[in-house]
Amino acid sequence: MLNASLRQLSLLLSEKKISSTELTHEFLTRIKVLNPDLNAFITTDEEKSLNQARLADEMIATGRSTPLTGIPVAQKDIFCATGWLTTCGSKMLSNFVSPYDATVVARLDRAGMVNLGKTNMDEFAMGSSNETSHYGPVKNPWDRRAVPGGSSGGSACAVAARLAPAATGSDTGGSIRQPAALCGISGIKPTYGLVSRYGMIAFASSLDQGGPMAKSAEDLSILLNAMVGFDERDSTSLQREKEDYTRDLEKPAGGLRIGLPREFFAEGMSSDVSSAVDAALAEYRKLGATFVEVSLPNSRLAVPVYYVLAPAEASSNLSRFDGVRYGYRAAQYDNLEELYAKTRAEGFGEEVKRRILIGTYVLSHGYYDAYYLQAQKLRRLIAEDFTKAFEQCDLIMGPTSPTVAFNIGEKCGDPIQMYLSDIYTSAASLAGLPGMSIPIGFGNQNRPVGLHIIGNYFREAHMLNVAHRYQQVTDWHKLTPPESGN
């Protein structure tokens, strides 16, 4: 049951071999046993989950089910969910019970999925290791000394440790793909604008994009079908005809032209990651793919550009947390100014404060032209590199992360080293392109390695097809971490 695909679960449910209540119960029990050590969930609420499961069982009994009805899902704590504590990993929202649903949550609810709980994450999604969470670090189920990646570390851990069959994540500069890679699962960040940002707590609005995390590409395609869609409450939501992301899964991969960016296969990638990537590419060659070297000359600037633009937007988005309307409020203050200052000083963690300072600085008069405006221009050049590359190839492949998961505490004291975890993922985010990661083996200390697949805009169905073909001839996505940890 724990290793079943979403299709298999759906079949078991519709054939009444198991009820959603039983299935939900099984995962909740597993969470109770394993979560105290793994720390993947910030909040669970058995009663709420089981109530939803009962409703799902009714939907099934009355023939109103969708392919996802009755299947439990873990929600990243960045998504508002009615009546659920929604903390975004921060002390600032440690008392915030959402009065409304994010569109992603509402859509999965409507499909009949059961919310298993809210997963741990880096504070306000700022981080690559889940260590900035107010709720403490999450452990990597493959090696509990290691980080799960971030910021969707709780969701990645939950899926990898089989605490949930699927989870939601959000990706601003790599936060779905990098933790998916580090935890040995599959994750996709769709084209910017496909999944509604309504009710997804804002970090950097021009980059933030929600997406699914699951065991396989097939599972991702089923989840994406329910998550994608126009939403008038998100001003950057795209109005497009509805697609079935499962439609191309079985297409053969022959004739596929894979672009390998020179810049991604240069120094920086550790040798264990490089061997796993080479082996995965060899598998694609067997499937009939050909390779072409492409160049993304401006991608070397992606990390610095990202770390100007994302903090700039964050400094603006996070100005709403002032202790007045909701969330944390300092206990003692003498005037309004002090209420703001103390609330923010006490409510935000160190990394969030660092981003607010950087963001305020690059937007300030006198520095705006030198940093913010310059970064915007470079963002355009980074996107244009991809446009050129896609004239020569159908998809781009490379490593998702330069190394396998590092140890908890290893990079905490060095923000620059931490920021470099996004070296391969941030360029696609800046360009608004879809990107995904799939497990392709293990590197040093038997920690998972992910393959990064970047597609042109709206090529999700094709990317999922290409990932699925690989998963039909390999078993990496089926492997489960040792139960006891290391």
Q: How many CB atoms lie within 10 A of CB 307?
A: 21
Nearer to ligand GLN by Cβ, of 120 and 128: the residue is: 128
Among 39, 75, 151, 168, binds ligand GLN (CB under 6 A): 151
Pick the catalytic residue from 10, 175, 237, 429.
175
Among 89, 127, 190, 327, binds ligand GLN (CB under 6 A): 127
Among 67, 117, 148, 173, binds ligand GLN (CB under 6 A): 173
Number of residues binding to ligand GLN, judged by CB under 6 A:
13
| Span near ligand GLN by CB under 6 A; candidates 36-44, 68-76, 169-177, 180-188 | 169-177
Nearer to ligand GLN by Cβ, of 39 and 425: the residue is: 425
CB of 203 to ligand GLN, least distance (A): 6
CB of 469 to ligand GLN, least distance (A): 27
The yes-or-no answer on residue 478 being catalytic is no
| Span near ligand GLN by CB under 6 A; candidates 165-173, 246-254, 287-295, 317-325 | 165-173
Using CB positions, name the residue nearest to ligand GLN.
Answer: 175
Half-sphere exposure of residue 472: CA atoms within 13 angstroms, side-chain side: 15
Nearer to ligand GLN by Cβ, of 149 and 481: the residue is: 149
Q: Is 149 exposed, middle or buried (0-12, 13-18, 19+ CB in 10 A)?
A: buried
CA torsion sign, 128 to 129 to 135 to 141?
positive
Among 44, 87, 128, 130, binds ligand GLN (CB under 6 A): 128
Nearer to ligand GLN by Cβ, of 10 and 151: the residue is: 151
Residue 149 touches ligand GLN, criterion: CB under 6 A: no
Pick the catalytic residue from 48, 76, 139, 411.
76
Contact 430, 306 (CB under 8 A): yes
Nearer to ligand GLN by Cβ, of 60 and 310: the residue is: 310
CB of 422 to ligand GLN, least distance (A): 5
Nearer to ligand GLN by Cβ, of 13 and 157: the residue is: 157
Residue 166 touches ligand GLN, criterion: CB under 6 A: no
Identity of the amino acid at 264:
F
Nearer to ligand GLN by Cβ, of 77 and 422: the residue is: 422
Please give the residues from 178 up to 207 whose contact with ligand GLN meets the rule CB under 6 A: 203
| Span near ligand GLN by CB under 6 A; candidates 7-15, 66-74, 126-134, 476-484 | 126-134
The yes-or-no answer on residue 76 being catalytic is yes
d(CA 427, CA 135): 30
d(CA 354, CA 365): 19
Residue 130 touches ligand GLN, criterion: CB under 6 A: no
The yes-or-no answer on residue 319 being catalytic is no
Residue 322 touches ligand GLN, criterion: CB under 6 A: no
CB of 125 to ligand GLN, least distance (A): 4
Pick the catalytic residue from 133, 151, 155, 299.
151
Residue 309 touches ligand GLN, criterion: CB under 6 A: no
Nearer to ligand GLN by Cβ, of 21 and 172: the residue is: 172
Active-site positions read 76, 151, 175
Residues that bind ligand GLN (CB under 6 A): 125-128, 151, 171-175, 203, 310, 422
